[in-house]
Amino acid sequence: MNPVTLAVDKALEFTVVGSFSRVGYATRSRLESWIDPPSLAGQRVLITGATSGIGFEAAARLAALGANITFVARDESRARSAMTALQSRSKNDRVEYLLGDTSDLVAMRRVAESVAARGTLDVLIHNAGAISATRTLSPQGFEVTVAAQLLGPFHLTRLLLPVLAGAQPGRVLTVSSGGLYSQRFDLATLELDGANYDGVAAYAKVKRAQLVLNHEWVHHVSSRDVVFHAMHPGWADTPGLAASLPTFYSLAKPWLRTPAQGADTLVWLAGARETSRTTGDFWMDRHPRFEHKVPWTRSRDSGRDQVLLWDWCLERTSRY
């Protein structure tokens, strides 16, 4: 990156609004002359949450690059519609779906067994995510935000490590959110109880936890076998945002990125050659980013946090 482009990028990142909005995407993509990753013909991609929004756009672009796409969805009617739309748009018939709720650990094992039976998996994308207005529990009794966006993905990743390693390296990509910048990791309050439940806070806490876990994965899996990356898409115009944060959505709508713009870094991480040579990073707009905007979200002992969270997830998922 030349000095002028670097200076513009840093200035955008400092403003936050300029960085996360469509302005950041438009400016960076033009200055850096972004191009698509190389062909993904023959590669297998598994993605959750692809029936709409960023997940749908990522699946469409990856399929257009030639990848074989399997997406995980909860509702069969929506899954069939999404599959048809993805095949039509990408001109690629190698798009299929598996039914499963990411909050259900038993369902994630079924998905993993089905995927593993077909051989090597090149890319696993954890995209499914939502803000819950009220506190609900997963089939195994965990708060559903934690179950769907942390425990389920952790379980699915562990089960698929053997087939991901066959890609040498496989890639595990996690879609996070700018909301994490508001939260410090605290395992004791990760699962909010009924009296203190706030769906927005629960979501942001889990997004912070995803990054903590992203760093810990690299201590358990060789980068020759599997690399791990997390990213956030900026502020994108998605059905989930409109439904969960209507006031913010109304105010920010003129500045929101399109779902395709929000998905760009995810697609790039899935296919760019350079992202197979690093691991454990947090990305936005095709560059590693700092994970803290304010000092009070920093941990006093991040290494200890990682180990504690890993053990916590392992204890809750290993029986399933």
Q: Quick one: which of 89, 242, 226 has its CA closest to 168?
A: 226
**Of the listed 25, 203, 249, 320, which one is catalytic?**
203
Q: Quick one: which of 111, 116, 59 has its CA closest to 82?
A: 59
Verify whether residue 203 is a known catalytic residue: yes
Distances from the Cα of 140 to the Cαs of 85, 101, 111, 197, 274, in angstroms? 33, 12, 17, 19, 39
Q: Count the helix, strand and coil residues of the chain and give each as a percent rounded to the nearest 5.
A: 50, 15, 35
Which residues 6+ apart lie within 8 Å of 72 measured at CB?
46, 47, 48, 49, 50, 97, 98, 99, 100, 102, 111, 128
Tokens matching residue 188: 């004791």
Enumerate the β-bridge partners of residue 99: 73
Give the residue numbers marked as catalytic: 203
